[in-house]
């Protein structure tokens, strides 16, 4: 359907990672996954650590995937803006490094120092698992 697209912008502190038209977007919110389609109601959501999928349109038709870690999602006026704390595209993931780091985090989770350390380790695990999920095989 013509016109069934919206603008998506994904920006990390280092650089913009994606800017373009999309027909759908899914992102890991702080309390679960959120899906965005054209003409979505205005909203703001706190993002967690996980995977963002952008179903692209036009010349770049397909799906772009990113691992993200924290930030905010705003949907307003035909545009979805993701301002994230940390992000990496699928092509940039080093699967072996992420898997090794995940194993260390899992070992550290067996005996966390305190509740804050436990929460931090859980977030680190989600971040690394998101990278592993999107990494090219």
- Looking at the structure, do residues 55 and 85 belong to the same domain, yes or no? yes
- Looking at the structure, do residues 21 and 84 belong to the same domain, yes or no? yes
State the DSSP string of 14-69: S-EEEEEEEEEEEEEETTEEEEE-TTPPPEEEEEEEEEEEEEE-GGG-EEEEEEEE
pLDDT of residue 106: 96
Number of domains in the chain: 2
Q: Is the pLDDT of residue 37 over 80?
A: yes
d(CA 74, CA 80): 6
pLDDT of residue 1: 46
- Looking at the structure, do residues 52 and 114 belong to the same domain, yes or no? no
Residue 100 domain boundaries: 93-134
**61: confidence class by pLDDT, cuts 50, 70, 90:** confident
- Looking at the structure, do residues 50 and 73 belong to the same domain, yes or no? yes
Closest C-alpha to 17, from 46, 54, 72, 43: 54
- Looking at the structure, do residues 75 and 50 belong to the same domain, yes or no? yes
CATH number of residue 80's parent domain? 2.60.15.10
């Amino acid at each position: 359907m013509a016109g069934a697209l919206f603008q998506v912008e994904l920006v990390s502190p280092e650089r913009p990672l994606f800017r373009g038209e999309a027909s759908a977007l899914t992102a890991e919110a702080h309390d679960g996954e959120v899906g965005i389609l054209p003409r979505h109601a205005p909203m703001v959501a706190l993002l967690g650590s996980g995977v963002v999928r952008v179903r692209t349109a036009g010349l770049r038709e397909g799906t772009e995937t990113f691992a993200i870690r924290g930030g905010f999602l705003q949907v307003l006026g035909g545009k979805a803006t993701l301002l994230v704390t940390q992000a990496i595209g699928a092509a940039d993931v080093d699967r072996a490094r992420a898997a090794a780091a995940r194993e260390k985090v899992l070992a550290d989770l067996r005996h966390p120092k305190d509740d804050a350390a436990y929460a931090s380790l859980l977030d680190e695990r989600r971040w690394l698992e998101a990278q592993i999920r999107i990494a090219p095989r």
